[in-house]
Structure 1
């Protein structure tokens, strides 16, 4: 019998591969990133991506491919959460002076809208916006950290500003 090029695309083999590796992958992601529920989601998404790429992955390389996907997904989720939490923490620290109650109320409403608008940005745009506006990083510094060109950072920032302006309006 000759072995096919894509044995992983056979449902029975994929199912067996899933049963052999799902639990250990879930535990690995849980131990590495510390979130049980998110680990289950990452494992599911990783196997979905493996199935979609089964013609490109051999049975010998499937485990490494699967773990690489899971690590990348988890890292991306954690980075996104960290940015979101850092921003939320700073947005809450707004000091309220002894202003008129109307001003305080308007300021709080605006901060809520701003926080929601920033949270709704796609990950890359939110990351670029917050690194620039909160951490005061230059486009060049962000490009070096992200491993992309300065032009890509400029484009992400432009898109983020457009989306924020559309959600909040001109102030």
Structure 2
């Protein structure tokens, strides 16, 4: 075994020698492979920082391969991140609406009236109606949950629907 294989990368003079040997070469490799947009200066420095942080685990003879692998992976991770950012930018954000402010105000007012009318319903009507229309449960399921017959559930839902229709203009529900 040669002295070079067992040389400690954590020693300052050894690390400086590695930097002198491979920094320019690694920079050029990244520049030629990925171009200036990958920021080869920073990726080279990041690779050497990672080598320093892992100096006890990396043998001197494996340091060059380690540096190239780390730098290449850093660039590929940045490219992957950039693709995610571009994909996110191309999608329309859900919180932007093209609706008229007046329509939004009317919608809020209608919802407030809807809440008031729901509050006027009896508890039995309100529970049956919301279980059916909001949670999407079938009449049979509601009957089992409430411990009543299916006909009672239907009556409660349809009577609640009638009250909502009377109190609110243009009330329609699917």
> Which TM-score applies when normalising by structure 1?
0.50
Q: Specify the alignment match of 1:81 in structure 2.
A: 82
Supply the RMSD in Å over aligned alpha carbons: 3.0
Structure 2 distance, partners of 1:20, 1:103, is 68
How far the C-alpha of 1:89 sits from its partner, in A, is 2.2
Structure 2 distance, partners of 1:31, 1:88, is 29
How far the C-alpha of 1:48 sits from its partner, in A, is 0.5
Unmatched tracts of structure 2, length 5 or more: 105-174
SS in 2 for 1:8: coil
Structure 1 distance, partners of 2:21, 2:101, is 62
Equivalent residues in 2 for 1:150-169, closer than 5 Å? none
Q: Specify the alignment match of 1:59 in structure 2.
A: 60
Larger radius of gyration: 2
How far the C-alpha of 1:51 sits from its partner, in A, is 0.9
Q: Specify the alignment match of 1:14 in structure 2.
A: 15
Q: Specify the alignment match of 1:100 in structure 2.
A: 100
Structure 2 distance, partners of 1:38, 1:76, is 13
Equivalent residues in 2 for 1:114-133, closer than 5 Å? none
Unmatched tracts of structure 1, length 5 or more: 105-171
How far the C-alpha of 1:96 sits from its partner, in A, is 7.5
Structure 1 distance, partners of 2:92, 2:84, is 12
Contact 1:22 1:43 in 2 (8 A): yes
SS in 1 for 2:91: helix
CA 1:101–1:27: 2 relative to 1, 3 Å: farther
How far the C-alpha of 1:6 sits from its partner, in A, is 4.2
Contact 1:6 1:54 in 2 (8 A): no
How far the C-alpha of 1:35 sits from its partner, in A, is 2.9
CA 1:21–1:36: 2 relative to 1, 3 Å: farther
Q: Specify the alignment match of 2:49 in structure 1.
A: 48
Moved over 4 A (4+): 94-97, 101-104
| Count of residue pairs the alignment pairs up | 102
Q: Specify the alignment match of 1:157 in structure 2.
A: none
How far the C-alpha of 1:47 sits from its partner, in A, is 0.2
